[in-house]
Structure 1
Amino acid sequence: MFRRTFWFTAGAAAGVWATTKVNRKIKQLTPESLAAQAADKAIEAGHKLKDFALDVREGMVRREAELGGALGLRTPVDPELPVTRHIAVEAARTGRTPTHRTLPYNSDNRNEDH
């Protein structure tokens, strides 16, 4: 008698456990749940991308400061301001206008009108 009660209880517990697992998985696969999971992943990816961009920008500013110090160039007061073009500054000091390079004519240019 004890043996039958044990197996009946074990079977009922396994059935409840399996039903709970299946119901949880079904709820995870509903369209609303899938959309929420996709939105969470997109937000997480956006945060990671933003952190990466901020790290790259910080590295760029640091490296520009190192190069500016090595070359003796002045850095802007506010790092958010764009760096002045030193070619134009040098041209203004010497009184010459900066020369612009033009590409030589190439008959293989695919962008010209025919």
Structure 2
Amino acid sequence: MFRRTFWFTAGAAAGVWATTKVNRKIRQLTPESLAAQAADKAIDAGHRLKDFALDVREGMVRREAELGGALGLDASVDPELPVIRHTAVEAPGPDRATVHRTLPYNSNNRNEDH
């Protein structure tokens, strides 16, 4: 008699456990639940992307300060202010200007990109 009671109780407990698991999984797979899960994951991905962008920006500011110090361009770098870029291109010297002016002009060339 004790064996039958034990197995009956074990079977009933397994049935209740399985039913609870199945019902919980069915609730997770409803369209509303899936939409909520997708929204949560999208928000989480957005936060991680924002953190990555802030880390990259911090690294850029730090590296610009290092390069500015190495090149002798020591200026205070405030991350809130726009960065003033210094151009490394020099104005054309007299030899370049004269070479450009002395090139032959072709009136048939309509391409202005040259």
What's 2:10 paired with?
10
What's 1:71 paired with?
71
What's 1:87 paired with?
87
CA distance in 2, matches of 1:87, 1:37: 49
TM-score, with length taken from structure 2: 0.71
Offset at residue 73 of structure 1 (A): 1.1
CA contact (8 A) 1:27 1:33 kept: yes
1:31 aligns with 2:31: yes
Matched residue count:
93
RCO higher in structure (CA 8 A, sep ≥6): 2
What's 1:102 paired with?
none
CA distance in 2, matches of 1:77, 1:53: 18
Offset at residue 77 of structure 1 (A): 5.5
CA RMSD across the alignment: 2.6
Q: What whole-Å deviation, never above 9, does each CA across 1:92-114 have from its counterpart, x for those lacking one?
A: xxxxxxx9xxxxxxxxx9xx9xx
Gaps of 5+ in 2: 92-96, 98-110
CA distance in 1, matches of 2:64, 2:56: 12
Q: What whole-Å deviation, never above 9, does each CA across 1:43-70 have from its counterpart, x for those lacking one?
A: 1101100000000000000000000111
TM-score, with length taken from structure 1: 0.71
